[in-house]
Structure 1
Amino acid sequence: MLLARLRGLLRPWAGPLRRRLGTVRRWRWRLRYLRDGVEGIAAELRSTVRDHAELLAAFGADVGRGVSIHGPLYIVNADGDFSKLRIGDRVHLGTGVLIDLADRVTIEDEATLSMRCSIVTHLDVGPGPLRERRPREQGPVRIGRGAYLGLGATVLHGVTIGEGATVGAHALVDRDVAPGATVLAPRARAAGGGAGG
């Protein structure tokens, strides 16, 4: 209660102070990039409370207006910067979204990726014996305008989610989804003869 009152008293000064500190923050980001490369900036995205859109744009992503990102945001396989990422206007990314930038990722205007969604643009089994049978695959991912991905949905390499499509919670999407279509993950069922089976 006391802390809430204190925050209310400080609020009129918070905006101007935040703008002044913004310059310091941007310099800190540049120094972090010089020291740790794009992995350092990816670490910033995992730990910052706000400014995800500004941070992405500062390091090469094309980020639209009115974007809402709730951290942490996980970016992996960025090659020097975030230039393979395009986020349209009024996009919402929930907490814990993972974006693999081995290839291009486009999230069009007004799309929503709920918490813990994953966008995976490549498959690589590593240096082991499977490599001969399962060579590396990769491809861009596009999430269409106004599409909705439910909690924990995963979209694999080369897939396009059509405009206005809905992907249910925990669905694994390995092929294109038509505009306006709905795809769902299987529901849990009781195993062999148990209660409710």
Structure 2
Amino acid sequence: MPVRRRLSTFTGFGYDKGRPLPVCAAWVLLEPLLRSVLVPSRFRVRVLRAFGAEIGTGVLLRHDVRIHWPWKLRIGNDCWVGVGAWLLNLEPITIGDDVCISQGVLLCTGSHQADNPAFEFDNAPIHVEDGAWIATRATILRGVTIGRDAVVGATALVVKDVEPGARVLAPQAKVRSA
């Protein structure tokens, strides 16, 4: 029998934002301004580091990249994060060296307990290992590790670990002949 959710009983029990409320508030106010196409990548990186992100050298963060909590983000050297990517990191996201996160990618560390009437959190970190490529509009869900040199194809939905060097492609739509 399906569980009836009672969202009024949600408490967020056990979730830790990782910083005091004033720091969270400052980030929430500043983050939308950093997404502007007029803000250079190197400035975005500098501000993210000031808020606690660990970011290596040679990182290119394009405009319109959304980052939920910078202090829960680690990016290695020589990585690219494409326009419109969303790093929804309620829990840590760790990205290795030489990783390409393409346009519109969603990395989502958050979820909820589907069988819990209070719909409490069910969050877990995401790890993207060195040399991986996550192509446009792919979605990586909580608790997943993308292995070294793996490729996640455009629009793929990834819910379990991807082995090093593997390729994950979205299912092909059936094409009808005229």
TM-score normalized by the length of structure 1:
0.72
- Measured after TM superposition, the shift of residue 136 of structure 1 is 2.4
1:87-116 Cα deviation digits (max 9, x unpaired): 000000000010012100001000000000
How far apart, in 2, do the equivalents of 1:149 and 1:46 lie? 20
Residue 168 (structure 1) aligns with = 153
Which structure 2 residue ranges, 5 or more long, are not aligned? 1-21
Q: Pick the aligned partner of 1:185 from 170, 174, 177.
A: 170
How far apart, in 2, do the equivalents of 1:131 and 1:63 lie? 36
Q: Pick the aligned partner of 1:45 from 34, 43, 47.
A: 34
How far apart, in 1, do the equivalents of 2:170 and 2:119 lie? 26
> How many residues are paired up?
154
Which structure 1 residue ranges, 5 or more long, are not aligned? 1-32
How far apart, in 1, do the equivalents of 2:145 and 2:34 lie? 25
Residue 57 (structure 2) aligns with = 65
Larger CA Rg, structure 1 vs 2: 1
TM-score normalized by the length of structure 2:
0.79
Say whether 1:123 aligns with 2:111.
yes
- Output the amino acid matched with 2:157: L
How far apart, in 2, do the equivalents of 1:120 and 1:150 lie? 15
Q: Percent identity?
A: 34
RMSD, matched Cα: 2.3
Going by fraction, where is helix more abundant, 1 or 2? Answer: 1
Say whether 1:55 aligns with 2:40.
no
Following TM superposition, where does structure 1 have runs of at least 4 consecutive aligned residues deviating by more than 6 angstroms?
A: none
How far apart, in 2, do the equivalents of 1:61 and 1:154 lie? 22
Tell whether the 8 Å contact from 1:49 to 1:70 is kept in structure 2 after alignment: no
Tell whether the 8 Å contact from 1:49 to 1:72 is kept in structure 2 after alignment: no
Label 1:45 to 1:131 Cα distance change in 2 as closer, same or farther (>3 A): farther
Residue 196 (structure 1) aligns with = 177
Residue 5 (structure 2) aligns with = none
The higher relative CO (CA closer than 8 Å, separation ≥ 6) is in: 2
Residue 133 (structure 2) aligns with = 148
